[in-house]
């Protein structure tokens, strides 16, 4: 469960919701230029999440904006964001709704082994698949408490439910363009 509920965006009739992911060296003015780019075409910035690591001057962001496709056609929109990307030497600039790509898997302790070991917390991890088993960048992790009152059957049911919830949240984050690669084997999840 999320610690807070997200209020759905109200989008004016005839407008569309755009999502922009951006990754570039950090410098002054990125948010201002992004806002200017969207506003200059009649769009409206609705949400912006920004992450700049303390130890590395690199900028990561995810923006949601509304726009009218009659005033800002798709080809012009992409050209505008391409200019913005070139201006900031962006390593990544995506403006699209992604195709669902099943590059996920779940990794959890084998339920029977965990049950027999008397664990008190069970966990699930969703991450990108890599050639090395269970080594991909993590997207989502969840834990649930178990106790001596659990039977093997209830333990397995809790584990399977946790797997499904974790995978669903990871896929949701990916589909909403909330996941960016960060460093060699990490992710930024907005």
The catalytic residues are 134
User: Rounded to an integer, what distance in angstroms lies between the CA atom of residue 31 and that of residue 84?
Assistant: 11
User: Contact 108/119 with Cβ under 8 angstroms?
Assistant: no
Cα 172 to its chain centre, rounded Å, is 8
Query: Where do runs of H (alpha helix) occur along 20-73?
Result: 30-39
Tokens 């509920």, residue? 5
b (16+ CB within 10 A) / e for 69-85: eeebeeeebeebbeebb
CA 120 to chain CA centroid, Å, is 29
């Amino acid at each position: 469960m999320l610690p807070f509920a997200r209020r759905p965006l109200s989008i004016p009739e005839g407008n569309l919701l755009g999502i922009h992911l951006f990754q570039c060296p950090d410098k002054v003015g990125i948010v201002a230029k992004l806002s200017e780019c969207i506003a200059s075409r009649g769009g409206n910035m609705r949400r912006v999440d920004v992450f700049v690591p303390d130890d590395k001057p690199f900028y990561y962001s995810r923006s949601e904006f509304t726009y009218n496709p009659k005033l800002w056609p798709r080809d012009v929109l992409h050209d505008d964001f391409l200019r913005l990307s070139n201006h900031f030497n962006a390593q990544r600039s995506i403006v699209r709704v992604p195709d669902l790509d099943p590059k996920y898997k779940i990794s959890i302790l084998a339920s029977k082994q965990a049950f027999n070991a008397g664990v008190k917390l069970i966990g699930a991890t969703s991450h990108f698949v890599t050639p090395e088993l269970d080594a991909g960048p993590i997207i989502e992790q969840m834990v649930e408490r178990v106790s001596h009152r659990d039977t093997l059957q209830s333990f397995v049911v809790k584990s399977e439910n946790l797997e499904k919830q974790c995978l669903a949240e990871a896929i949701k984050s990916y589909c909403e363009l909330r996941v960016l690669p960060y460093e060699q084997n990490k992710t930024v999840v907005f």
